Every structure is written in C-alpha cells, then in structure tokens.
Amino acid sequence: MDRKTIVQTISIEIERTRKRLLELARDKRDGEGPKTSWHDTTHLDVERAIEDAERHLARCLRVLASVRNHESSMVINDGSLANLSIDGEKRDYVIVEREDGGAIGNVLVLSSQSPIGGAIWSKSRGKQVAVRTLSGLIRVKILEVS
C-alpha cells in the first residue's frame, strides 16, 4: 500500500469517527431524562462509546501525522512504511513510535513499543530478526522500507 492510499484510508476513518462522535453526542443529549435505571445505563453506555471514539480519533490523528511528517530514510523510524515477512507472511505496515499499533481500516500499524516493532526499529531493508513473543519465536524480515 502506498503512502497516498494510507493517508486517504486514515482520513476516511477520521471522518467516519467524527460523524460517529456527532451521533453519540445527539444520543447523549436525547438520552437526558428522568433518572431511572434505564436512562443511567443508556447514559453510561453512550459515555463509554464517546470515550472509545475519542481515543480512536486521537490515535488516527497521531498515526496520520506520523505518515505525513515522515522524512524518507533507509531505516525504519516514525511514519515509515515497511513491507515485512513475518514467518513467511508478507504484509505492509505503517511503523509508529508511540503505542498506537493496531489496524485502522485496512491499514496495519505497528508500534515501536511492540515486540516486532521494537525489534525492527532503526533497521534497514534486508535485515532479518528473531522476535520472542507470547506465542513463541518468530522470524521477521524487512523486505522494503519507505
């Protein structure tokens, strides 16, 4: 996946999340009413959904900033795009410095704080590392970096 497609995908997710927050704000406003157990439960559910959406939006914005602000380098750093072979399975990842790993839409994000992200941080194309994870030892090869 190229940088332009990643930026578009994350931007779409940001817009989707902003719309969701507006819907949740309306739900919260409409859910105000007499203090009954149903209203209290509904209100708490909406509050939790708002908090989750706000965290997701903040993460998307940080990852997008990393991708946009990335300065080209031959080594993996914040905002790098990397094609990795993990135990023989090839996939494209965005690498970020913070603990913002996880998928955003179909964009896979690896944090430098994760075992794999930490092992490949500052490494270049062609390097291979062994990473100990909870599920055992895995082999990671850096196929491309941009």
Q: Where are the alpha helices (DSSP H) in 70-126?
A: 115-120
Residue with tokens 């914040």: 78
Tell me: the pLDDT tens digits for 120-130?
A: 999 999 999 99
Tell me: the pLDDT tens digits for 54-92?
A: 999 999 999 999 999 998 899 999 999 999 999 999 999
Q: What six digits make up the tokens of 133?
A: 């994870």
Share of the chain above pLDDT 70, in %: 92
Q: What's the confidence (pLDDT) of residue 94?
A: 97
- Helix (H) or strand (E) run with residue 97 in it: none
Provide the residue ranges of all domains of the chain, joining segments of one domain with +. 3-69, 80-145
Give me the architecture of the 80-145 domain, per CATH.
Answer: Roll (3.10)
pTM of model > 0.85: yes
Taking the alpha carbons at both ends of the chain, their separation in whole angstroms is 11
- Helix (H) or strand (E) run with residue 128 in it: strand 128-133
